[in-house]
Amino acid sequence: MSGVNEIRSTFLDYFRKNGHEVVPSSPLVPRNDPTLMFVNAGMVQFKNVFTGLETRNYSRASTAQKCVRAGGKHNDLDNVGYTARHHTFFEMLGNFSFGDYFKENAIEFAWNLITKEFGIDREKLLVTVYHTDDEAAGFWKKIAGLPEQKIIRIATSDNFWAMGDTGPCGPCSEIFYDHGEGIPGGPPGSPDEDGDRFIEIWNLVFMQFEQVTKEERIALPRPSIDTGMGLERIAAVLQGKHDNYDIDLFQALIRASEEATGVKAEGKNRASHRVIADHLRASSFLIADGVLPSNEGRGYVLRRIMRRAMRHAQLLGAAEPLMWRLVPALVREMGQAYPELVRGQPLITETLKLEETRFRKTLARGLTLLSDATDTMSSGDRLDGETAFKLYDTYGFPLDLTQDALRQRGISVDTDGFNTAMERQKAEARANWAGSGEAATEAVWFSVKDKVGATEFLGYDTEQAEGVV
């Protein structure tokens, strides 16, 4: 059985052998893309290379990229703990061609890696192509020998990728692994495709067009390749597991969480341990890349992730802050591949400990309020927006934490009512604002920053945290 660390190296070595430059993961906070909350795919650090704004001294690259999908266009937060295949933080393995090789080679590289190097049973594999992409279908037949019924044509945007309203775009082809009949879910394109039987392991994007304006799309003279494979998903396949949370890495984290709480990951407690393990990774990697919990922007996404995990720790009966105690297990599992975790360990530990210590002061009282308010409710009922807002405002419950807390009972939250209450409070705050308060805080910040430098003030060198070696 190969562990996650070995699988990552096998992937990168394979592409290195095939003429690719192995490039380190970029930090989770995008450097030059203010529209993007977090890096959510391997291609992000190469955007300008694909558009031609930037050139590199290589035309083939391969990476294991840290990704977070917990906000913005891709948000898998609500899936975590409930599907077998989603994380908020995961690693995307990828190979890229910048106007070098194209469709045929991309399919060949992918097929050879998974069937020869990794030795996956070809009978268990099937692929999708964009409905008009006869070329890709033809290569799958020629290279992989797949029969027609295992090359599924999809007409939706799932199989057509675009960088934005304009820019590079093109059809994609996804590779699926069939985990077997016992698991609910249908093949891609079928009505129950969202089940977990057929799991997408690798997405190949064929960037062959450029969208010039809304109406005009031209063929690129030198098309490119962008691919992404979820490391945790391929590890599950290679370790004979159906579920990402059963791979070596997650088992180690879940074991740490079981030991620290004295509660087994069984029955109703299973999801909590999974959420904790997942959110531990997301929080720690975000902190290592310089994000700190706050009430807005990226920092608020981090805070939401942390607090969700903390509610699950409370559910498991943890009497003391839990998350910081799991950091050593994470560093043991992933510190070698990501030295920023080792460098950031003290900051990660302190940040988790402080946030949980503070949140625990209001968490229990908030939960009491919540259970009083929903005492007589049953599945299909809805919690009023005022109460959800009070939980937010007085007890520090992000809206999604309240929703997550009620989810198992089938109770929803009136989000419109919540937003109305929030707007009202903001209007009141504006009306009462006497000036100077905010500016004074800013002035303090800048004067400290001037004295010691921003990074030092944060107690952490973000440049160093990038894992760029």
| Residue 202 contact partner, candidates Mg ion, ligand ATP, none, CB within 5 to 8 A by sort of partner | ligand ATP
| Residue 154 contact partner, candidates Mg ion, ligand ATP, none, CB within 5 to 8 A by sort of partner | none
| Residue 466 contact partner, candidates Mg ion, ligand ATP, none, CB within 5 to 8 A by sort of partner | none
| Residue 90 contact partner, candidates ligand ATP, Mg ion, none, CB within 5 to 8 A by sort of partner | ligand ATP
Give 173 or 224: the residue with its C-beta nearer to Mg ion. 173
| Residue 85 contact partner, candidates Mg ion, ligand ATP, none, CB within 5 to 8 A by sort of partner | ligand ATP
Binding residues for Mg ion, rule: CB under 5 A, are 200, 203
Cβ(238)–Cβ(7) below 8 Å: yes
Work out how close the CB of 173 gets to ligand ATP at its nearest, in angstroms, rounded to a whole number. Answer: 11
Give 111 or 359: the residue with its C-beta nearer to ligand ATP. 111
Q: How far apart are CA 125 and CA 129, in angstroms?
A: 14
Q: How far apart are CA 196 and CA 185, in angstroms?
A: 6
CA-CA-CA-CA torsion sign (29, 30, 33, 39): negative
Q: How far apart are CA 178 and CA 148, in angstroms?
A: 16
- Return the structure tokens found at 272: 């909590």
Which residues touch 56 (CB under 8 Å, ≥6 apart)? 21, 49, 98
Pairing mode, if any, of strands 217-230 and 198-211? antiparallel
Work out how close the CB of 194 gets to ligand ATP at its nearest, in angstroms, rounded to a whole number. Answer: 8
| Residue 230 contact partner, candidates Mg ion, ligand ATP, none, CB within 5 to 8 A by sort of partner | ligand ATP
Q: What are phi and psi of 227, to 5 degrees?
A: -130, 160
| Residue 312 contact partner, candidates ligand ATP, Mg ion, none, CB within 5 to 8 A by sort of partner | none
Q: How far apart are CA 263 and CA 251, in angstroms?
A: 14
Binding residues for ligand ATP, rule: CB under 6 A, are 69, 76, 85-87, 90, 92, 200-203, 228-230, 232-233
Q: Is 251 exposed, middle or buried (0-12, 13-18, 19+ CB in 10 A)?
A: middle
Work out how close the CB of 203 gets to Mg ion at its nearest, in angstroms, rounded to a whole number. Answer: 4
Q: Is 295 exposed, middle or buried (0-12, 13-18, 19+ CB in 10 A)?
A: exposed
Residue written as token pair 């992933």: 334
Give 8 or 86: the residue with its C-beta nearer to ligand ATP. 86
Cβ(128)–Cβ(159) below 8 Å: yes
Work out how close the CB of 412 gets to Mg ion at its nearest, in angstroms, rounded to a whole number. Answer: 22
Work out how close the CB of 199 gets to ligand ATP at its nearest, in angstroms, rounded to a whole number. Answer: 7
Work out how close the CB of 342 gets to Mg ion at its nearest, in angstroms, rounded to a whole number. Answer: 31
Give 230 or 396: the residue with its C-beta nearer to ligand ATP. 230
Give 228 or 290: the residue with its C-beta nearer to ligand ATP. 228
Give 115 or 420: the residue with its C-beta nearer to ligand ATP. 115
Give 152 or 330: the residue with its C-beta nearer to Mg ion. 152
Work out how close the CB of 185 gets to Mg ion at its nearest, in angstroms, rounded to a whole number. Answer: 13
Work out how close the CB of 3 gets to ligand ATP at its nearest, in angstroms, rounded to a whole number. Answer: 17
- Return the structure tokens found at 311: 């509610």
Give 90 or 397: the residue with its C-beta nearer to ligand ATP. 90
| Residue 228 contact partner, candidates ligand ATP, Mg ion, none, CB within 5 to 8 A by sort of partner | ligand ATP
Q: DSSP character for 114?
A: I
Written as one string, the DSSP assignment of 117-145 is IS---GGGEEEEEETT-HHHHHHIIIII-
